[in-house]
Amino acid sequence: MTDPPYKVTSRGSAGNSGGMLQKKINKRGQVFAHNNIDCSEYAPEFYRVLKDGSHCYVMTNHVNLIKMLNTFTNCGFHFIKCLIWDKGNKIMGQYYMSQFEYIMFFRKGKGIKINHCGTSDILSVPNVKLKGDDGKNLHDTEKPVELMKILIDNSSKVGDIILDPFMGIGGAGIASQQLDRNFIGIEIDNKYYDIAMQRIKKAS
């Protein structure tokens, strides 16, 4: 599962943290220092490292949805469906207010059903962000641990390895710890990596 960096629009559909984030988006639709990787670089690698029968969740927005879907399916992934993360909070925009993000749900190889088939494909989990001592978000696109837990719980067993190659401040790692899964996380930005390490150690 992962939440890759991707282009956002600058008129209310960044879908992450409202007005504050809008101010941080630069003219090329970038939020982070490391925002440039193209999905064609990582999708084949995801397909290569995942085991047959794995589920793969990738978060995105409407700007990148079609390209990412095509890229992932061209790599061999089977597209199961899109889930919706209903964040509860709304962001002003010219074309309806933004309240959700897409979670593309793929599988590699054989189809294995989720563990809790009664789970809705609309996941309502409040978009709450951790703050630093300065009152600012620790990470502007942090995803809630509770959201990660739903996906991990449904698509893996105790002892499995969960991979998040764009882990930010490590919510998927904490969720993995709490569900007794092993976790491999990758993060290019040392500031976020250090926060993730601290949080994951604390959770274990």
Ligand X SMILES: C[S@@+](CC[C@H](N)C(=O)[O-])C[C@H]1O[C@@H](n2cnc3c(N)ncnc32)[C@H](O)[C@@H]1O
Chain residues that interact with ligand X, rule: CB under 6 A: 3-5, 32, 34, 37, 139, 141-143, 166, 168-169, 171, 186-189, 192
Q: How far is the CB of 5 from ligand X (least distance, A)?
A: 4
Alpha helices, DSSP H, located in 31-99: 39-49, 65-74
Q: How far is the CB of 167 from ligand X (least distance, A)?
A: 6
Q: How far is the CB of 118 from ligand X (least distance, A)?
A: 26
Q: How far is the CB of 165 from ligand X (least distance, A)?
A: 6
The residue whose Cβ lies closest to ligand X is 168
| Nearer to ligand X among residue 12 and residue 168 (C-beta) | 168
* Helix count and strand count (H, E) for the chain: 6, 6
Please name which of 197, 193, 137 lies closest in space to residue 168, comparing C-alpha atoms. 193
56 Rama sector, left if φ>0, alpha if ψ -120 to 50, beta otherwise: beta
Cα–Cα distance between 124 and 109 in angstroms, integer?
29
Cα–Cα distance between 204 and 182 in angstroms, integer?
11
Distance linking the first and last C-alpha atoms of the chain: 20
| Nearer to ligand X among residue 111 and residue 135 (C-beta) | 135
| Nearer to ligand X among residue 29 and residue 109 (C-beta) | 29
Q: How far is the CB of 15 from ligand X (least distance, A)?
A: 11
Task: Provide the 3-class DSSP secondary structure of residue 170.
Answer: coil
| Nearer to ligand X among residue 112 and residue 131 (C-beta) | 131
